Structure 1
Amino acid sequence: MHWSRDRWLVATTVVSGGAVLVGYVGFTALLLNLLGSLGAFVALLFGCLLFVFLVAGPPLTLRGVGANVVTAREEPVLVGLVSRLAQQGDVPTPAVAVVDSSEANAFTVGWRGDATVCVTTGLLDVLSRDELTAVLAHEVAHVANYDSSVMTVASLPTLVGLSTAEASVDVASKSLQAVFLGLFFGVLSAVLVVLTAPVVVLLSRAREYAADRGAVALTGDAGALASALQTLTVDDSSPPASDARDLGVVSAFCVVSPTSAPLPWLHPSTDRRIARLRELERTVETT
């Protein structure tokens, strides 16, 4: 296979991006209609939150999961693999970070020119060299497809809606007067989630399938990625150690859904991904 931008992912990104834009505009219009000037303030606050999230989100995310950026001297094999794969994918070489967690997983944050590929110590412990290369190729494919930044923009309304709904329930439980306020924002949050969650699911699943195909294009080894996904699925079937870092904040970006994922249905079925890779492996072998 030869590396190229995934056309299906590009089409999905355009559709989902347009849907999210319409959702932003519609939600702003709803706030203006219901709350007037207060609604304008809330919409502006949400816009500022999005801007801050895009600019400061990656470093804050890395800090939140305890990711430590490593050098070629500290992790020569890991950094060397990422560098070689980035050259093959014709993307700027991402930084490499390690998260001290027994939960085996990997994820990528940041923009194409300033991305960081993160792996957990648990992942380094359970994968073979070929499997590790395949997982890193999957993460580099995310960088090449620009989908990490797009996913950030698309998923923020859903995350804000879920957080607001949870806060609304807490507010409503404080006093009788707060019930109406909590109910009002709870309904608004539910509308926001209902409008945006399907788009986020569509984009999330499309980007994982695209990164799987991209990894095979970079390594030529569909079997290694299928084996890695199988290993990570088996590893995640057991409860993580009590000192494991909580990867819930980056669950949408992980190669497999972590045990702490608040929205585990964002990822496509691992069994289905493995089946697709095995089929791709047979196709490559017969050509």
Structure 2
Amino acid sequence: MNTLRTGLLMAALMGLFLAVGYLLGREQGMLIAFVLAAGMNLFAYWNADKMVLRMHGARQLDRQSAPEFYGLVEELARNAGLPMPKVYLMDNPQPNAFATGRNPENAAVAATTGLLQLLDRDEIAGVMAHELAHVKHRDTLVMTMTATIAGAISMLANFGMFFGGSRDRSNPLGAIGVILMVILAPLAAMLVQMAISRTREYGADRGGAEISRQPLALASALAKIAGAAHRIENPTAEANPATAHMFIINPLSGQRMDGLFSTHPDPRNRIEALQRIAHEMGAVGRSAGPWESAPAHEPGPWG
């Protein structure tokens, strides 16, 4: 169901992009929009992962520089039946993580120093298993493409503001219509992008629970990360909000609602879903409250 929904939403996003092109220049405008979308997606396919990692100042780790963390990711990748991804660390006090890469053979997972300091080993395993589930489901490619198309829609709409006025007889909108399009098209694209992101997070939570076999540890990690993420600012993410949907918990301030304008589901809903998964799996052990938060002085296993 999630795959079907994602496919429909991506089709809607692409349809919106072509519609904006058509409204700006009819058939010729739609053709230009199609070529532009193809070119941007091709560039994103090959380069987006490197750009995102560089943007967040991530440095690559190996078995010698981080034997415990690297070994944990290696074990989880083996459990998931995936090739070993590249492992990165971001020097950032906010606990968070993301995955990127065009396919499992070229994937990378990245965690912040704050994540390794705050969580215990089982919780870190749950988080990294969640990110590997994104890789296994090829969500990293899907989210890269949706972000690229959404950005292109905004760019095309702004282009129309300058060149799509009522003096252009090929434009069926007129000046007022162009202004409305400039406002509404990027908003619609953002809503579709966020809907895709929320859909994939639930799937990755389930996949992460299956890979780590510890759904309650992942639930506990989500509670801790969500509690800390709103107290600890992430300046890099704030400066690059287009990457916010990639993180396991929204790294931006002031986004807790599970509504239209949220890039992520409400952590409470995700925790409840993981508790149901734990019941299905017969998992026992730890139990996280809805907003469990470790004391600031309590270090994680590698903090």
Provide TM-score, normalisation by structure 1: 0.81
Tell me, what secondary structure is at the counterpart of 1:108? Answer: strand
- Answer yes or no: is the 8 Å Cα contact 2:20–2:156 preserved in 1: no
Q: Are 1:68 and 2:59 counterparts?
A: yes
More helix by share: 1
- Answer yes or no: is the 8 Å Cα contact 1:247–1:261 preserved in 2: no
Instruction: Report what 2:288 is aligned to.
Output: none
Tell me, what secondary structure is at the counterpart of 1:27? Answer: helix
Please provide the CA RMSD for this pair. 3.2
Please state how far the C-alpha of 1:81 moved relative to its aligned partner: 1.5
Find the aligned partners of 1:253 and 1:243 in 2 and give their Cα distance.
13
Q: Are 1:269 and 2:260 counterparts?
A: no
Count residues in correspondence.
Answer: 268
Please state how far the C-alpha of 1:164 moved relative to its aligned partner: 7.0
Find the aligned partners of 1:242 and 1:148 in 2 and give their Cα distance.
23
Instruction: Report what 2:92 is aligned to.
Output: 101
Match of 2:9 among 12, 16, 30: 16
Find the aligned partners of 1:17 and 1:230 in 2 and give their Cα distance.
30
- Answer yes or no: is the 8 Å Cα contact 1:233–1:270 preserved in 2: yes
In structure 1, runs of 5+ residues without a counterpart are 1-7, 172-181
Tell me which moved more, 141-150 or 88-97.
Answer: 88-97
Tell me which moved more, 189-198 or 259-268.
Answer: 259-268
1:55-111 deviations in Å (ceiling 9; x for gaps): 211111111111111111111121112122112212222111011111110001112
Find the aligned partners of 2:10 and 2:67 in 1 and give their Cα distance.
38
Please state how far the C-alpha of 1:31 moved relative to its aligned partner: 2.8
Find the aligned partners of 2:235 and 2:38 in 1 and give their Cα distance.
37
1:105-129 deviations in Å (ceiling 9; x for gaps): 0001112221110101111110100
- Answer yes or no: is the 8 Å Cα contact 1:61–1:249 preserved in 2: no
In structure 2, runs of 5+ residues without a counterpart are 163-174, 285-303
Find the aligned partners of 1:72 and 1:276 in 2 and give their Cα distance.
34
Match of 2:139 among 147, 155, 165: 147
Find the aligned partners of 1:77 and 1:160 in 2 and give their Cα distance.
41
Tell me which moved more, 147-156 or 58-67.
Answer: 147-156
- Answer yes or no: is the 8 Å Cα contact 2:93–2:232 preserved in 1: no
Q: Work out the percentage of aligned pairs sharing the same amino acid.
A: 27
Tell me which moved more, 46-55 or 115-124.
Answer: 46-55
